[in-house]
Chain A
């Protein structure tokens, strides 16, 4: 492994795009999670929430795909997410990935999804390093 590939502390950020009602409904169809709190604004507000919000596993899935595509799908050894606050319908979250440790054969990553200063989810991933500059080139 070369140090340029994944230096501890290297951070990558990316927008996850707007999580609007069509995106939430599309994920509901794909996953089968049809809890109405995710697509029915009036019901969510009746239950005391600001509005309807994305499925937690939708956020987790978006995080996992960003990591897997950056490091290649075969490189992902493990992934975890902790749900911290709701991702409200219409928000545009930002994903960040920070290298926390590098060992022979593995890179440890800290993950976070935020909307502004608010943390929506935090997580971790463990990936296999790969030779070549592709990952280093994408680190901002």
Chain B
């Protein structure tokens, strides 16, 4: 169920040379497109570095009313409608809740599954750049009374 009270978030992200290289090194990339070319290609999961642009996943969980200590990252999916991100792009992402479902297990625990979708577009061209779907799960210790 989604109601109109669900929060949304706007995210700004720059595709920078140094961050491209750092992510590539951390992910053991060796293709020159990721490591040495003058205008680098961002690794496919570049948006995992969003914290560096002031985005706080912890704040998102808090706004969703989820307990960060009980939240698991279940899945992450990426679509690249116009090819990989490249150095110099400035992106703006709109994150929203796609679905939120809670199930009470026989033992009383409540499992809440939230799917967050972020549509990134290129600020200059206006074109779609990246779609990220993230699924997170919160499992409570006991059912809320």
Contact = CB atoms under 8 A, between A and B. Distances in A.
A77 B79 contact: yes
Contact of B31 (A30, A73, A83): A73
B143 interface: no
Interface in A78-98: 78-83
Interface string A53-79: 000111011101101110011101111
B46 to A, nearest CB: 9
B30 A69 contact: yes
Contact of B22 (A16, A29, A33, A57): A29
B23 A64 contact: no
Contacts of B77: 78-81
A97 to B, nearest CB: 14
Where chain B touches its partner, the secondary structure class is mixed
Interface residues of A, number: 32
Interface residues of B, number: 34
A65 B28 contact: yes
A12 interface: no
A64 B29 CA distance: 10
B13 to A, nearest CB: 12
A77 B80 contact: yes
A60 B84 contact: no
Given A29-B22, A61-B48, A80-B78, 9 more contacts: A16-B28, A31-B26, A56-B76, A60-B45, A61-B26, A65-B34, A69-B34, A74-B83, A78-B79
18 contacts: A26-B26, A29-B22, A30-B26, A32-B52, A56-B73, A61-B23, A61-B26, A62-B28, A64-B44, A65-B34, A68-B31, A72-B31, A73-B33, A73-B84, A74-B83, A76-B44, A79-B78, A80-B77
